[in-house]
Amino acid sequence: MILHLFGHDIGLGPALVIESMGQVSKSLGFAIPGAVGVQEGGYLVVCGLLGISPEVGLATSLMKRLREVVWGVPALVAWHWAETNAKASVASLGPISGGNQ
């Protein structure tokens, strides 16, 4: 779909190859935090093999990264909010007094 928006109509087969090889390259970069650069390199190689320009391959990879940011940042904000509220509610309970210590 991203390639279609960029004006490069490809078939289902090449689209599946690009997506699967992008996932493979991202998985192979597990030791690098966020696999930064690995996914982009994978897309450049695969798109180059399929006759798609490197610029379009890189743009496709960056659009996929954007999707991760769009979903990831709100999730992190919600998690932070939940943790902050949980700590505040525990602090409002006051000290816990035990009977047998």
Residue among 71, 67, 56 at smallest CA distance from 4: 56
Q: In the chain, how many domains are there?
A: 1
Asked if the structure places residue 98 within a domain, the reply is no
Distances (CA, A) of 42 to 39, 47, 69: 5, 8, 19
Do the domain assignments include residue 74? Answer: yes
Structural domain includes residue 19:
yes
Asked whether 20 and 30 are in contact (CB, 8 A), the reply is: no
Terminal C-alpha separation, the chain: 64
In the prediction, which pLDDT does 65 show? Answer: 85
Instruction: Kindly state whether residue 100 falls inside one of the protein's structural domains.
Output: no
Instruction: Report pLDDT for 96.
Output: 63
- Per the structure, the complete domain to which residue 14 belongs is given by 2-90
Q: Which long-range contacts (CB under 8 A, 24 or more apart) does 13-18 make?
A: 14/50, 17/46, 17/50, 18/43, 18/46, 18/47, 18/50, 18/60
In this structure, is residue 60 part of a structural domain?
yes
Domain-located, residue 51: yes
The overall longest dimension of the chain from CA atoms, in Å, is 75
Residue 81 is predicted with a pLDDT of: 92
In a domain, 41, yes or no: yes
Q: Look at residue 97 in the predicted model and tell me its pLDDT.
A: 60
* Inside any domain, residue 81: yes
The mean pLDDT values, 10 residues at a time, for the chain of 101 residues are 82 88 86 83 90 88 86 92 82 63 53
